[in-house]
Amino acid sequence: MKKVKEIVVISGKGGTGKTTLTAALADIIPGKVIVDADVDAANLYILLKPKNIRATDFTGKSTAKIDRDECTSCNLCRELCRFHAVNIEDGDYVIDHFSCDGCGLCRIACPVQAIKMEEQIVGKWLIADTEYGDFVYARLVPGAENSGNLVTMVRHQGKLIAEEKNIDTILIDGSPGIGCPVTAAISGTDLAIIVTEPTYSGISDLQRVFELTSHFSIKSGIVINRFDINPENTKKIAAFAREKGIPVFARIPHSHCVIEEITNSRLPSRKCKELSQPVEKIYDHLKRELLCS
C-alpha cells in the first residue's frame, strides 16, 4: 500500500481565502480524499456540492440528567455542584448542559438515584461523494465544545477511505488560528500551505502559525492572497519567508471575478485565471515537494 501524504491548508485567521484555495486544489489534484477539518466554520461543502451524504452522530462529554418523576427536590445536587449547573425551573430540578462539567458527583450523591449521565450529541461527521473525490466534513452543534476531537475524527475517517481505496493523497482544509482545532488539523501532516494576506495582522498571524508548523516539524509553503492590495506588506512577507527559508508557492491577485463566483457558490478557479494560474503553480510545488517523492 502507498504511503498516504496529507496536505493541509491553514491560515492565521479566517477569511484569507483558505477554503477557496482548498477547493481549487481539490479540482486539480488527481486521486485524493478531501477533508474539511475547519469544523467550527465548515463551508467547503458550499463549493464542492456533496451528494449521497452519509451522516454519523458525534458524541461529546456526558452530562447529568434528572428524572423529574423520581426527584424529591431535596436540593442536595444543587448544593454540591460547583459548576452551578443545577437550576430550578417551574419547581423542577433541571441541568444546564452547557454548564455541567460531567463530573458525576450529583449522580453519586442523589439519595433516590434520580440522576443519570447521558452522552451529548455535539455534532455530526459526514462522508459524501463529490465530482472532485470522496469528501469528509462535519457539522458542530452551535456552542458545542470538543471541536479538536471532531477534527481528529474527520481526519481519521479520511484516512480510512484513503486506505480502503488505495488513495495516496489527503487534502485537508484546516482551521484558522493557532488553537486546539488547528493543532489537531496539522499534527502528523506532510505539508502545510499557509495562506496569508498582506495586512498588518496578516503578517503577525503568519508568524504565529509558522511557529506552530515549525514546532510540529511540518514542511511549509506560503501563499500570499490578494498580494496586490499592499505591495509593501507583501515585500515584508517575502522577506520573512526568505529569512525563515520557507518557499512562497504563489501570489494570488485581488479579483472581482473570484468574489463574484464565490458569491454565487461556484468554484472560482474554473472561471478566473487570476486564481487558476497561481493554483497551477502551487500544484507544481506540491508535486516537487511531496507527491512525486
Q: Which is nearer to ligand SF4, 90 or 243 (CB)?
A: 90
Q: Which is nearer to ligand SF4, 35 or 106 (CB)?
A: 106
> CB of 250: closest distance to ligand SF4 in angstroms?
50
Q: Which is nearer to ligand SF4, 28 or 94 (CB)?
A: 94
> CB of 84: closest distance to ligand SF4 in angstroms?
8
> CB of 69: closest distance to ligand SF4 in angstroms?
11
Q: Which is nearer to ligand SF4, 30 or 91 (CB)?
A: 91
* Residues in contact with ligand SF4 by the rule CB under 6 A: 63-64, 66, 71-77, 80-81, 83, 85-86, 93, 95, 100-106, 110, 112, 114-115
> CB of 70: closest distance to ligand SF4 in angstroms?
7
> CB of 60: closest distance to ligand SF4 in angstroms?
13
Q: Which is nearer to ligand SF4, 11 or 63 (CB)?
A: 63
Q: Which is nearer to ligand SF4, 65 or 124 (CB)?
A: 65
Q: Which is nearer to ligand SF4, 96 or 280 (CB)?
A: 96
Contacts of 288 (CB under 8 A, 6+ apart): none
> CB of 6: closest distance to ligand SF4 in angstroms?
37
Q: How far is CA 267 from CA 58, 225, 279, 291, in A?
A: 29, 16, 13, 24
Residue 82 burial (C-beta neighbours within 10 Å; 0-12, 13-18, 19+) = exposed
Residue type, 195: V
> CB of 91: closest distance to ligand SF4 in angstroms?
11
Are the beta carbons of 47 and 267 closer than 8 angstroms?
A: yes
In DSSP notation, the chain reads -PPPEEEEEEESSSSSSHHHHHHHHHHHS-SEEEEE--GGG--HHHHH--EEEEEEEEEEEEEEEE-TTT-----HHHHH-TT--EEEETTEEEE-TTT-----HHHHH-TT--EEEEEEEEEEEEEEEETTEEEEEEEEPTT---HHHHHHHHHHHHHHHHHHHT--EEEEEEEESSSHHHHHHHTT-SEEEEEE-SSHHHHHHHHHHHHHHHHTT-EEEEEEETGGG-HHHHHHHHHHHHHHT--EEEEE---HHHHHHHHTT--GGGT-HHHHHHHHHHHHHHIIIIIT-
> CB of 82: closest distance to ligand SF4 in angstroms?
7
Q: Which is nearer to ligand SF4, 69 or 232 (CB)?
A: 69
